[in-house]
């Protein structure tokens, strides 16, 4: 299949104001999506006299103008845009499938810095735009590109606040009757992102006592020293507040990481383990398997194996996790980074839903989070991100390939070495894990140094 040139592993991303997220090309993306939806109205799109598209935003200063420029492009193709305002990505996926929206667009670059932004596309089913749809939209963009460079004036959007309320109602409906959160005290790090608009209110509505952190977005402080990328503050605050739990979201709240009452960090691997064990005990874990990625810690695989469960690994990216879940019939999957998919409830990763699941398990078992993950013995794992000036195939980098091969041979079956390029940033990502932390760090540094010599930015 032809490879896309604009869509990455999670939509279209870039620096706001620069190609492909300059005003002209954002307008073209809107038109290209509009043409795709008009053509596919009897297929992927929802039936309606005039296709409607739902648009949500995170809190970056560029999100609104990108949303309104997209809306103008859609309007040129007679597609109506409806604004949900600031809302988590998962809210757009939910509302797209629950209403007569032909598609849902989320304006966000997730965990990236505020200067970046992106466009995530969901079809009416609530799933992300499939590969063949991405290719068709790209073909439309490149066909339109030689035309006039004057983008239409942005179309002013008026937020419909009832949409976010409906998403909140959906989340509340997933909490079984009789579940009492009133004894829970939680610290919530909203990353100055989309969770700021909903998370504290949601958890208070369900009865929990809430201490909200980083819930005052100013357009530029999203993910800045907070959220799921920087959990040190949360980990310190939870024991200081004598809280039972801490949760950290990323910019668009589709991932969640947790801090225990003692301040220990529980990542996506920990959530997969505790959720799998609980679902197994209740007879709800389909196929006795869990879907993770190549980044899942070896300790998770061993812990699941001790329960008679199997871990199936995929490439990094929640889209690949979901594809495998649909293929295998699994109903639990996710990433170490905190994207967790409970497919019995939703079509995509949802940090708020994940937090509610963890809270429910704590309440129903009467166990603190530390205890729920105590049987998960994590192997030392080192992650290194190396900025690169280009993404040359690793097999064409002899020194890098040799360093990776040497580490793999050294560890054998007692360790893992995973090296890949980021799907959204100019980075080489290096992961090494094994029982000995000093050896892990040494091998990760050796591979990182080889990358820096070969492709250092």
| Residue 186 near residue 210 (C-beta atoms within 8 A) | yes
**Structure-token match 């980021």, residue found:** 422
> Collapsing DSSP states into helix, strand and coil, what is residue 202?
helix
207 Rama class: left (phi>0) / alpha (psi -120 to 50) / beta: left
Round the CA-based radius of gyration of the chain to a whole number and report it.
22
Distance of CA 252 to the CA centre of its chain: 8
How many angstroms separate the CA atoms of 164 and 168, rounded?
Answer: 6
> Collapsing DSSP states into helix, strand and coil, what is residue 318?
helix
Catalytic residue among 108, 110, 196, 343: 110
Helix, strand, coil percentages (3-state) for the chain, rounded to 5, are 40, 20, 40
E strand residue ranges, 28-79 = 52-57
How many angstroms separate the CA atoms of 402 and 387, rounded?
Answer: 20
**Structure-token match 């980074």, residue found:** 337
Known catalytic membership, residue 173: no
Per-residue buried b or exposed e for 39-63, using 16+ beta carbons within 10 Å of the residue's own CB: ebbeebbbeeeebbbbbbbbbbebb
For 239-307, the DSSP string reads HHTT-SEEEEE-TTSS-EEEE-TTS-EE-HHHHHHHHHHHHHHTT--GGGEEEEETTS-HHHHHHHHHT
End-to-end Cα distance, the chain: 31
| Residue 92 near residue 106 (C-beta atoms within 8 A) | yes
- The total of other beta-carbon atoms located within 10 Å of residue 406's CB is 14
Active site members: 110
């Amino acid at each position: 299949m032809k490879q896309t040139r604009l869509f990455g592993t999670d939509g279209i991303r870039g620096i706001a104001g620069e190609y492909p997220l300059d005003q002209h090309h954002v307008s073209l993306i809107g038109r290209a999506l509009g043409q795709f939806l008009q053509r596919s109205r009897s297929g992927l799109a929802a039936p309606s006299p005039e296709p409607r598209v739902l648009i949500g935003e995170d809190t970056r200063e560029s999100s609104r103008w990108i949303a309104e420029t997209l809306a103008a492009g859609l309007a040129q193709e007679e597609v109506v845009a409806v604004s949900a305002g600031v809302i988590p990505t998962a809210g757009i996926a939910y509302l797209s499938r629950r209403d007569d929206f032909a598609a849902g667009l989320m304006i966000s670059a997730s965990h990236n810095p505020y200067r970046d932004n992106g466009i995530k596309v969901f079809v009416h089913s609530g799933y992300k735009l499939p590969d063949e749809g991405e290719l068709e939209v790209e073909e439309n963009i490149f066909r339109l590109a030689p035309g006039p460079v004057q983008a239409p004036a942005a179309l002013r959007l008026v937020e419909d606040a009832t949409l976010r309320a409906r998403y909140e109602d959906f989340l509340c409906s997933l909490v079984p009757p009789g579940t009492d959160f009133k004894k829970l005290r939680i610290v919530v790090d909203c990353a100055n992102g989309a969770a700021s608009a909903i998370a504290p209110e949601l958890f208070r509505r369900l009865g929990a006592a809430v201490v909200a952190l980083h819930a005052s977005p100013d357009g530029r402080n999203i993910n800045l020293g907070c959220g799921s990328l920087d959990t040190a503050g949360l980990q310190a605050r939870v024991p200081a507040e004598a809280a039972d739990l801490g949760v950290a979201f990323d910019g668009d709240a589709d991932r969640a990481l947790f801090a225990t009452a003692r301040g220990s960090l529980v990542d996506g691997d920990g959530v997969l383990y505790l959720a799998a064990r609980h679902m197994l005990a209740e007879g709800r874990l389909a196929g006795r398997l869990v879907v993770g990625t190549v980044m899942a810690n070896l300790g998770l695989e061993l812990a699941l194996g001790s329960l008679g469960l199997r871990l199936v690994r995929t490439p990094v990216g929640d889209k690949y996790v979901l594809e495998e879940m649909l293929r295998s019939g699994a109903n639990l999957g996710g990433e170490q980074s905190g994207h967790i998919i409970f497919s019995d409830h939703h079509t995509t990763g949802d940090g708020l839903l994940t937090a509610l699941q963890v809270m429910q398990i704590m309440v129903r078992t009467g166990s603190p989070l530390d205890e729920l993950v105590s049987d998960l013995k994590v192997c030392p794992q080192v992650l290194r991100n190396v900025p690169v000036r280009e993404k040359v195939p690793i097999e064409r980098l002899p020194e890098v390939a040799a360093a990776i091969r040497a580490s793999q041979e050294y560890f054998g079956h007692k360790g893992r070495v995973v090296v890949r390029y980021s799907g959204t940033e100019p980075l080489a990502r290096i992961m090494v894990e094994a029982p000995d932390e000093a050896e892990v760090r040494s091998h990760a540094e050796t591979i990182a140094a080889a990358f820096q010599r070969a492709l250092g930015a």
